[in-house]
Structure 1
Amino acid sequence: MEKLSHMILKWEVSFSWQPFKISRQGLTLSYLFFVDDLLLFAKATETQVLVVKDCLKQFSLASGLIFNLEKSKLFISPNIHATFASRLSKVCGIPLTDDLGKYLEVPLIHKRASKKMYSYIIDRIMIKLDSWKGKILSLVGMRILIQSTTSAILLYNAIDSLTYLDV
């Protein structure tokens, strides 16, 4: 994957690949690599879709690895008209989605965060606490059990969320 990152950066320098701008004056983002997953970012234009597809094709030829576009998902900003998004999906051969799902049990958020998005954390904590025999513990023991359980679950989710933002 290091070779792919070098290829993407080379295409960026040559102004072929136009990365996604996080804000008007802010940083740009062209890819995020995880263990065996990757997220690619580019402007929502037909030209850019073809550039990304060509870059992946060249990487496949050089490495022998094959990208399965049918297992991939194409997420396009809700600010882009639906018919244009459909056309981009057809051009690149990747099915369009409005929800990227979860990665390591943490939702990939592509809109403003809400309480509902993180309600699964409270549910997990309640299931853990209900399954234990808290009745035989003293109040101090219950407190320690609750603190250790909740901090471990919250820490895991916080670290996973930071992973998406810090790369």
Structure 2
Amino acid sequence: MARSAPSISHLFFADDSFLFFRATMEECNTVKECLRIYEVASGHKVNFDKSSISFSANVPSHMKNSICENLEVAYTTNHAHYLGLPSLIGRNKTEIFTFVKEKAWSRMQGWRHKLLS
């Protein structure tokens, strides 16, 4: 994430997951083995056709290709929005989250009109 940020290895949402790992074949194989164990233990199957992976800017192209091939997932440069929020957030958080503030404000205005009528 960032050098000074706490270490994050995974995030779980309902039936989706974000996994974070270093772009090495060793860690790629570890993630692949963890997913295999999960499938055996839970009886659920990971849908790799719906899965994707993104890399930081400093990962060499040959390593990106090797990891995508090993995990059998597609490479993407943009995850766009997830659960209504942007997946990637830059330095200008005010600009990015203005829509959240506006959406909350419009909902509150709607509630006020319903209560008055």
Which structure has the greater CA radius of gyration? 1
Q: 1:149 aligned to 2:106?
A: yes
Q: CA RMSD in A?
A: 2.9
Percent of aligned pairs sharing the same letter: 26
Structure 2 residue 41 is matched with structure 1 residue 62: yes
Find the residue that maps to 2:106 and give its secondary structure. Answer: helix
Q: Alignment length, in residue pairs?
A: 109
Do residues 40 (structure 1) and 19 (structure 2) align? yes
| Closer/same/farther in 2, CA of residues 93 and 110 from structure 1, 3 Å limit | farther
Q: Any idea what the Cα deviations from partners look like across 1:129-155, whole Å, max 9, x if unmatched?
A: xxxxxxxxxxxxxxxxxx942778xxx
Q: CA deviation at 1:104?
A: 1.7
Q: State whether residues 22 and 29 of structure 1, in contact with CA within 8 Å, keep that contact through their aligned partners in structure 2.
A: no
Question: Which of 81, 88, 93 is the aligned partner of 2:60?
Answer: 81
Question: TM-score with structure 1 length normalisation?
Answer: 0.55
Deviations 1:36-57 (A, max 9, x none): 1111111110111111011110
Q: Which runs of 5+ in 2 are unaligned?
A: 110-117
Q: Which has the higher contact order (CA 8 A, sep 6+)?
A: 2
Give secondary structure in 2 for the equivalent of 1:32.
strand
Unaligned residue ranges in structure 1 (runs of 5+): 1-20, 129-146, 153-167
User: Aligned residue for 1:105?
Assistant: 84
Is residue 80–residue 87 contact of structure 2 (8 Å, CA) maintained in 1? yes
Q: Which has the higher helix share?
A: 1
TM-score in terms of structure 2 length? 0.75
Verify the 8 A CA contact 2:53 2:75 in the aligned structure 1: yes
